[in-house]
């Protein structure tokens, strides 16, 4: 699909950010909200933000003009969706609000228009009954802040058609985003993993093992440092799955159930598939490409270190740079 007509229902922080990136990509984007006045106010805010992002070097120089030419405030939800090819619902995260909004959207939209929901927690299958022709409905979950986070979860429910998913993939890709299809399950993938990490971090703090500041330092400077380049399975394969299995046994000396060895990990270790050192693990990377992988890894981490040094510490951190420009 080339430059579709897109409707964004809900023009707040998330919906507005989604509207910005799709308008910047050249799509005709109509935003709507509880009233025309709210939609117009959001439209003006988004143009002002785009100008600031451009001035700050975060958007291209011509972004304000491009967004202004493609972004429009609609009189109502019905007006926004009437001839849209793709519709993204981004209203507050309450089932009753989403259901009522989806009813209005699907009643006014073309029967072939694809409808996405930006829900981060509500199962898509539970919302699908509110949609006429639910085969064209799926989750299209952008992350905050939408203009700058590249990943998008696509969550079909059991009745979603392949063609609807393909349309959503095209819309997301045209905006320069990277999508992954996941099954309709509680928490999907993003929040299931994110909240698992937060839960364990909170346990560490509550047990007095480290402060919140110390936990954040460890996460962002160790395993979190790797995550822009490699997901957990690639990291495990590079570390060695036999090493992971041993570490699980160590953790089990205190938490035998919480850190039970994953069955898939044990099966791979038993089969001698230990990761990159044997040429296969969770991911299959031929052993002869290990040197190439290590070279990429080292260059990536060095580049990340330079980027962080250039940016300086986040406002949540103390600037510990000494008189010679070194950070401790």
Q: pLDDT tens digits, residue range 43-86?
A: 999 999 999 999 999 999 999 999 999 999 999 999 999 999 99
pLDDT for 316 equals 87
- For a pLDDT cut of 70, what percent of the chain falls above it? 97
Mean pLDDT of 199-214: 98
- Is residue 15 pLDDT above 80, yes or no? yes
**pTM of the predicted model, to two decimals?**
0.92
Q: Look at phi and psi of residue 4 and say left if phi exceeds 0, alpha if psi is from -120 to 50, else beta.
A: beta
DSSP conformational letter for 130: G
Q: Cβ(71)–Cβ(99) under 8 Å?
A: no
Q: Output the pLDDT for position 3.
A: 86
Mean pLDDT of 173-180: 96
pLDDT over 70 at 176, yes or no:
yes
pLDDT higher at 241 or 317 = 241
Tokens 């990377």, residue? Answer: 285
The overall average pLDDT reported for the chain is: 95
Residue 283 has a pLDDT of 94
Residue range 233-251, pLDDT digits in tens: 999 999 999 999 999 999 9
DSSP state of 151: E
Residue 93 is predicted with a pLDDT of 94
**Does 147 score more than 80 pLDDT?**
yes
pLDDT at 242: 98
> What is the predicted pLDDT for the residue at 2?
75
Is the bond into 288 cis (omega within 30 degrees of 0)?
no
Q: How far apart are CA 71 and CA 150, in angstroms?
A: 21
Q: DSSP letter at 254?
A: T
* Cα–Cα dist 46/283, whole Å: 41
Is residue 319 over pLDDT 70? no
Q: Which residues contact 311 (CB under 8 A, 6 or more apart)?
A: none
Q: What is the mean pLDDT of residues 1-21?
A: 93
In our burial notation (b when 16+ CB lie closer than 10 A, e otherwise), range 54-84 reads: beeeebeeebbebbeebbbbbebbebbbbeb
Tell me the pLDDT band of 328, cut-offs 50, 70 and 90: very low
> What letter would DSSP give residue 280?
B
Domains parsed from the chain with CATH numbers: 5-181 (3.40.50.720), 222-311 (1.10.1040.50)
| 197-219 average pLDDT score | 97
Mean pLDDT of 193-217: 97
**pLDDT given for residue 324 in this prediction:** 44
Quick: pLDDT tens for 277-309: 999 999 988 888 899 999 999 999 999 999 999
Give the count of beta carbons closer than 10 Å to the beta carbon of residue 216.
16
């Amino acid at each position: 699909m080339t430059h579709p007509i897109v409707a964004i229902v809900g023009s707040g922080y998330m919906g507005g950010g989604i509207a910005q990136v799709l308008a910047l990509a050249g799509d005709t984007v109509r935003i709507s909200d509880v009233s025309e006045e709210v939609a117009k106010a959001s439209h003006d805010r988004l143009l002002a933000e785009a100008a600031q992002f451009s001035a700050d070097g975060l958007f291209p120089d011509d972004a304000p003009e491009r967004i202004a030419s493609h972004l429009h405030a609609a009189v109502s939800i019905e007006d926004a969706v009437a001839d849209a090819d793709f519709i993204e619902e981004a209203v507050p995260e309450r089932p009753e609000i989403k259901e009522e909004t989806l009813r209005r959207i699907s009643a006014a939209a073309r029967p072939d228009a694809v409808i996405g929901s930006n829900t981060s927690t509500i199962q898509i299958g539970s919302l699908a009954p509110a949609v006429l022709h639910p085969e064209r409905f799926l989750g299209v979950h952008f992350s905050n802040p939408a203009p700058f986070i590249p990943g998008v979860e696509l969550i079909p429910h059991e009745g979603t058609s392949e063609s609807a998913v393909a349309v959503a993939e095209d819309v997301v890709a045209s905006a320069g985003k990277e999508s992954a299809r996941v099954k309709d399950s509680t928490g999907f993938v993003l929040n299931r993993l994110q909240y698992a990490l937060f839960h364990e971090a909170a346990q560490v703090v509550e047990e007095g093992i480290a402060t919140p500041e110390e936990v954040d330092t460890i996460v962002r400077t160790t395993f979190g440092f790797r995550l822009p380049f490699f997901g957990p399975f690639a990291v495990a394969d590079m570390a060695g799955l036999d090493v992971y299995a041993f570490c699980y046994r160590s953790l089990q000396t205190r938490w035998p159930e919480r850190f039970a060895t994953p069955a898939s990990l044990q099966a791979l270790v038993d089969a001698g598939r230990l990761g990159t050192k044997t040429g296969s693990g969770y991911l299959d990377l031929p052993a002869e490409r290990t040197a190439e992988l290590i070279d990429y890894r080292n260059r990536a981490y060095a580049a990340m270190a330079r980027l962080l040094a250039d940016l300086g510490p986040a406002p949540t951190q103390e600037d510990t740079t000494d008189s010679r420009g070194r950070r401790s």
